[in-house]
Amino acid sequence: MRVRIYPTKRYDLETVAELLYNADSQANFHPDSRWILSSGYGEDVMYPEREIPQKVTYREFFVKWIGREAVVMWLVSNQVLFRIISYKLLPEESEALEASHDDSELPNPNEIN
């Protein structure tokens, strides 16, 4: 899942990212079970009502499937302005699923009975 967070009057992007990474590491002691795979910065154009369009810097997080609910709940409970860009599995997760799926181990339907 891809989630973008935007700065507000109360929070800047670095503070929100640091707090979110801290919540992730507190909930998941093992690094392989962390919710957030990576993050990066970008710019977007916002169109506020009756105002001039503005360029806004955002931070985009790539969240693993296992952490979708936890990350969204954390953002909502902390009143962070965010937008979900995609619910798709991350490429790393898709590759892991494809690598773990082996049809040769499945029994032939004719041999089940």
pLDDT in tens, the chain (113 residues): 999 999 988 889 999 999 999 999 999 888 878 888 889 999 988 777 777 888 889 999 999 888 889 999 999 999 999 999 988 887 777 777 777 766 566 666 666 65
Report how far residue 16's alpha carbon sits from residue 81's, in angstroms, rounded to the nearest whole number. Answer: 10
Strand order through the sheet with 82-86: 36-46, 54-63, 2-5, 82-86
Set out the domains of the chain in order of their start, with CATH numbers: 2-92 (3.30.70)
Report how far residue 62's alpha carbon sits from residue 1's, in angstroms, rounded to the nearest whole number. Answer: 6
Report how far residue 23's alpha carbon sits from residue 28's, in angstroms, rounded to the nearest whole number. Answer: 9
Question: Residue 50: how many CB atoms within 10 A of its CB?
Answer: 4
